[in-house]
Structure 1
Amino acid sequence: MTESARTAAGQDWEEQAANWIAWVRRPGFDSYWRYRDAFFDLVPAAGRATLDLGCGEGRVSRDLVERGHRVTGIDASPTLVEAARQAHPEGRYLTADSADLPFPDDSFDLVIAYNVLMDVDDLPGTVAEIGRVLAPGGRLCLSITHPITNTGSFRDGLFVLDRPYFGRHRFEEEVERDGMRMKFQGWNHPLSAYTTAMEDAGLLIETLREPQVNDDMIPWHLWIRAVRSSQGPHES
């Protein structure tokens, strides 16, 4: 993959950085505030070192620190990384490509990827890097938008599948709410694309959850906790 292709997602988020900071720092506005506590129930207790992959402006990192984690946050957007540093000056935040992490093997015992993997340009490469920097027995906790959500739309109170499920498809959506505007961009993948990437990286799925808030008719998020096997992905 070329360098320009690798950084495309980072450029998307850099262009939307100011909008995103305003969007997520308005308490209760974004879905994170509804899902946060239940997601952290999935996350293991603080250990030696935690990586917040795709940390954005740092809200997940800050919540992890409050729960006792020693966090390093990385993101491809320099503006978002600087916002994270300003909000949490004592933290460690780096600008980095998720498919080329600047850490030695086995550096972390926990990686958090909250609503990140559907945005990266190189899903297999990113998950392979997660597996590399996780120590044996370390865990990945991820949230993604549920693969089913971008394959259909609501019509007359029913959710109708009207787009392909299989394959890799680009999505772009502009949302305006209460005078705030945000453009979301990324990739639709089937669930098997995520699980195959984890399998290839030596990550074994422990838990899969589809959280439901209030009267949701379909799952908007999908959560997975996986553990890095003691052997490498291709060892026997």
Structure 2
Amino acid sequence: MPGRDETDILHSWHRNADAWTRAVREELIESRRLITDQAIVDAVLDNRPRSVLDVGCGEGWLVRALAAHGIQAIGVDAVPALIEHAREGGGSFQVAAYDDLIAGRFSQRVEAVVCNFSLLGEASVERLLAALPSLLEADGRLIVQTVHPLIACGEHAYVDGWRMEAWTGFGAAFPAPAPWYFRTLASWIGLFATSGWQLCELREPLHPQTGRPASVIFVARR
């Protein structure tokens, strides 16, 4: 999708907010139900943070899951409808886009920043990753879960580029396809390095039925 405006990502999520909330709360996404939700919770708990910022929190499930473990968690998302749904379920949430975090409009420092399937753009993600260290305490961690490139590549060539999510197999009626930027595993690792992060750990949670990677989790420090 040459020339794809990254604002199209947000436009699609404004339209898909209700469908996404339903899909998450009714556990309609098999990979989340079987492995990836617990995988990101485990990755956060393993680092024992007292405070967490969930960037791109969606309908807020992860904030509530971490709060149940005694963690002070706050979620931010650029889509007001998702924040409204998140507040319905309880927890601390506010509307904030990547640009708000990059510009320093979120002043609270935390011990961990989590991006759970929320790094969807190209240049916007590059700018965000470069800015996130300012939100972390001195020994804080960044924890990112995203689609596993080898699996998400599908029939496409294994090269960076824009893709379109048609929501096949998500179990809910999504009104708008969603653009997202595909990165190879090498590109992800390179992006962390050029953004000033030291990669501490890479996890590949396996689907319990297929034995194939359901996602990839990066844990990095400043």
TM-score (norm 2): 0.84
CA positional deviation for 1:117:
1.3
Q: In the alignment, what sits opposite 1:100?
A: 100
Q: CA RMSD in A?
A: 2.3
CA positional deviation for 1:63:
0.4
> In 2 relative to 1, CA 213–82 (structure 1 residues): closer, same or farther, beyond 3 Å?
same
CA positional deviation for 1:29:
4.4
Aligned with residue 85 of structure 1, among 87, 96, 99: 87
Structure-1 separation of matches of 2:60 and 2:218: 21
Contact in 1 for aligned 2:113/2:141 (Cα 8 Å): yes
Where do 1:175-190 residues align within 5 Å? 175=168, 180-182=172-174, 183-190=177-184
Larger Rg: 1
Contact in 2 for aligned 1:109/1:139 (Cα 8 Å): yes
3-state SS of 1:215 partner: coil
For the pair 1:196 / 2:186, whether they are aligned, the reply is: no
CA positional deviation for 1:137:
1.3
Q: In the alignment, what sits opposite 2:76?
A: 74
Aligned with residue 202 of structure 2, among 176, 197, 208: 208
TM-score (norm 1): 0.80
> In 2 relative to 1, CA 26–121 (structure 1 residues): closer, same or farther, beyond 3 Å?
farther
Q: Which has the higher contact order (CA 8 A, sep 6+)?
A: 2
CA positional deviation for 1:172:
2.5
Where do 1:116-135 residues align within 5 Å? 116-118=118-120, 122-135=124-137
3-state SS of 2:19 partner: helix
Q: In the alignment, what sits opposite 1:164?
A: 157
Q: Which of the two has greater strand per residue?
A: 1
Structure-1 separation of matches of 2:180 and 2:65: 25
The code of the aligned residue for 2:61 comes to: R
> In 2 relative to 1, CA 212–166 (structure 1 residues): closer, same or farther, beyond 3 Å?
same
The code of the aligned residue for 2:55 comes to: L
CA positional deviation for 1:83:
0.6
> In 2 relative to 1, CA 51–227 (structure 1 residues): closer, same or farther, beyond 3 Å?
same
CA positional deviation for 1:217:
4.8
Structure-1 separation of matches of 2:56 and 2:66: 14
The code of the aligned residue for 2:134 comes to: R
Q: In the alignment, what sits opposite 2:9?
A: 9
Contact in 1 for aligned 2:14/2:79 (Cα 8 Å): yes
3-state SS of 2:98 partner: coil
CA positional deviation for 1:135:
2.3
> In 2 relative to 1, CA 134–12 (structure 1 residues): closer, same or farther, beyond 3 Å?
same
Q: Which of the two has greater helix per residue?
A: 2
> In 2 relative to 1, CA 25–120 (structure 1 residues): closer, same or farther, beyond 3 Å?
farther
Percent identity of equivalent pairs: 26
Structure-1 separation of matches of 2:83 and 2:18: 12
| Matched residue count | 211
> In 2 relative to 1, CA 190–29 (structure 1 residues): closer, same or farther, beyond 3 Å?
closer
Give unmatched runs, 5+ long, in structure 2: none
Q: In the alignment, what sits opposite 2:42?
A: 41
Q: What are the superposed Cα offsets for residues 136-160 of structure 1, whole Å, 9 maximum, x if unpaired?
A: 21001111001112322xxxxxxxx
Structure-2 separation of matches of 1:6 and 1:171: 12
Give unmatched runs, 5+ long, in structure 1: 153-161, 229-236
Contact in 2 for aligned 1:56/1:75 (Cα 8 Å): yes
